[in-house]
Structure 1
Amino acid sequence: MGGGVDEIRSKAELDEAIRGGDLLVLHFWAAWCDASKQMDQVFAHLAADFPSVRFFRVEAEEQPEISETFSVSAVPYFVFFKGSKVVDSLEGASPPSLAEKLSKLAGTNGQKSNPEVRVEDQTHPRVDWGPELTPEKPPQSASSSLNSRLEELINRGPVMLFMKGTPEEPRCGFSRKAVEILRQEKVDFQSFDILIDDEVRQGLKVFSNWSSYPQLYIKGELIGGSDIMLEMQRTGELEKTLVEKGVDRGGEPAEERLRNLITSSPVMLFMKGSPDTPRCGFSSKVVGALRGEGVDFGHFDILEDEEVRQGLKTLSNWPTYPQLYYKGELIGGCDIILELHRSGELKATLSE
């Protein structure tokens, strides 16, 4: 038993492997990830050193069902099983941490841990872990100066993506997926490559209380990683969030479009429905008041365009509809229009 590394190619194969009840370690990897390739070498050495432990690999992106089951959001990632239950996990390329966890778990399984794999034992033939595999230090509390820098980075643009690599050259599949989602949503976004700045890479985990990358922020608020982005896109929640926060989604800038709509007619009514078929009582009353004064007006049905519906609330700082504008200036909503109508001031206000 043991001594080698086997490939898991389906959920059924994984279920069968776990069912054995042995001490088992699962390595989630990706072919494009240099750290995964180098950790494969480490994994193979450890498999030889721990013949009583079963070692398996899973191609994270080719087996999304398995990856999602264990909330894998970055590679390399390791999951440890004992007695068919998950007992530990490890994210990142840290050979000493991997060896230490294996040694402890093998020891508590009634087996003698191989002294040659102990991190502190320098007599063991060394594996060249490579410069990218330097163990990451546990995140510490970020300094105030680092916090200020992180806040500045997070607010560098309305949509900010902290990722591995760049949008043109992502260095992990999860970052690549995040970029794809934002491009599908036609979002202009800024990015930061956390691989080039370890201070930001570690500090942001503490600052945001989010342990993996990518991390997406919209108007300074953490949204989440690629799995959350994918789910929000599927349900339409991502589009709604972008609209509510007034994020430019390509084409004519959102604010410019709103101002063009507001000034498209000297008297402009943003309402629910149309003047002939109002879809709320307040809109109906305003239409009645305008027609009663013989005022010509343009209109826009905010129920047909969520971007306008949400964006205009922010631009005008007026949370409800209808909204009436005269020569680009907000007059008010239903209560104000009806009061002007009752006092005889409405027509004069709209002809000044």
Structure 2
Amino acid sequence: MTNSGAVVAVKSAEEYNTLINAEKTTVVLFTADWAEQCKHVQDALEELAKILSNKLQFASIVAENFPEISMKHQIEAVPTIIFFTKGTAIERVDGVNVAEITAKCKKLGGSVAGESLEERLKALTHKAALMVFMKGDRNAPRCGFSRKLIEILNETGLPYETFDILNDEEVRQGLKTYSDWPTYPQIYVKGELIGGLDIIVELKSSNELEAALRG
């Protein structure tokens, strides 16, 4: 069973037991399909799984479908997060507290948590040859500037990746200082800042955009 950057939806008690008894610390979300607040926590875990899956594994379990497991862990409300190491519950977060969940995940993530912000930002800006930091993602931009930028990039046909700054306040604030560029979106080519939407529009109007994006 792999869990590389994803939250495993538990389908059986056996699968649950295998997950929580694994060598990796397992972050388990006790959830309910009808609870809107669980979706918010699930989304946060999906993002955390992308950056911490080398140290932690993530799972969700519908509490009502597994009453014995829920009773054992005194699940009285959803969402509830429990952190397991080799079968033992070591941490717990009750309710929608994404900041606390994130902090505990990073703390338990070991070396990832010890990575400096600058190292993390350097790694993120080099993650793809063409990297976009924006509000939302390429499929669902969440501001007009980001939407316009994605339209322009899609016209070039060049491959690129996006990072949603709304899901990570540390990156959102840190990148402004790291790049000395106060606004979003920000576009990086091979780890070097090209600029924001205004620069991209200028490059497009002077027919220099594709060359600049290829680095």
Q: Give the TM-score normalised by the residue count of structure 2.
A: 0.51
**Structure 2 unpaired stretches of 5+:** 122-162, 169-215
Q: CA deviation at 1:124?
A: 7.6
Residues 1:72 and 2:75 are matched in the alignment: yes
> Equivalent residues in 2 for 1:46-195 (5 A)?
46-52=48-54, 53-107=56-110, 111-113=111-113, 115=117, 125-127=165-167
Residues 1:36 and 2:76 are matched in the alignment: no
Partner of 1:27: 29
Q: CA deviation at 1:60?
A: 0.9
Q: Deviations over 1:261-280 (max 9, x none)?
A: xxxxxxxxxxxxxxxxxxxx
Report the Cα distance in structure 2 between the residues aligned to 1:30 and 1:100, rounded to whole angstroms: 23
Where do 4+ consecutive residues of structure 1 move more than 4 Å? 114-117
Q: Deviations over 1:157-192 (max 9, x none)?
A: xxxxxxxxxxxxxxxxxxxxxxxxxxxxxxxxxxxx
Flag the 1:112–1:127 CA change in 2: closer, same or farther, 3 A: closer
Report the Cα distance in structure 1 between the residues aligned to 2:96 and 2:62, rounded to whole angstroms: 16
> Equivalent residues in 2 for 1:1-352 (5 A)?
1-52=3-54, 53-107=56-110, 111-113=111-113, 115=117, 125-127=165-167
Report the Cα distance in structure 1 between the residues aligned to 2:21 and 2:61, rounded to whole angstroms: 17
CA contact (8 A) 2:30 2:78 kept: yes
Report the Cα distance in structure 1 between the residues aligned to 2:59 and 2:29, rounded to whole angstroms: 6
Query: What letter corresponds to residue 10 of structure 1 in structure 2?
Result: S
Query: What letter corresponds to residue 78 of structure 2 in structure 1?
Result: V
Q: CA deviation at 1:9?
A: 2.0
CA contact (8 A) 2:20 2:87 kept: yes
CA contact (8 A) 1:23 1:54 kept: yes
Query: What letter corresponds to residue 53 of structure 2 in structure 1?
Result: P
**Structure 1 unpaired stretches of 5+:** 118-122, 129-352
Q: Deviations over 1:5-52 (max 9, x none)?
A: 111122211111123221110001111111001111111111112122
Flag the 1:58–1:28 CA change in 2: closer, same or farther, 3 A: same
Report the Cα distance in structure 1 between the residues aligned to 2:108 and 2:86, rounded to whole angstroms: 12
Q: Per chain length, whose mean CA-contact separation is higher, i.e. which structure has more relative contact order (CA < 8 Å, sep 6+)? A: 2
CA contact (8 A) 1:78 1:90 kept: yes
SS of equivalent to 1:126: helix
Greater share of residues in strand: 2
Flag the 1:103–1:24 CA change in 2: closer, same or farther, 3 A: same
SS of equivalent to 2:38: helix
Query: What letter corresponds to residue 126 of structure 1 in structure 2?
Result: L
Once the two structures are aligned, what percentage of the paired residues are identical?
Answer: 25
Query: What letter corresponds to residue 30 of structure 2 in structure 1?
Result: F
Report the Cα distance in structure 2 between the residues aligned to 1:66 and 1:84, rounded to whole angstroms: 13
CA contact (8 A) 1:2 1:55 kept: no
Partner of 2:177: none
**Structure index of larger Rg:** 1
Number of residue equivalences: 121
Q: CA deviation at 1:85?
A: 1.6
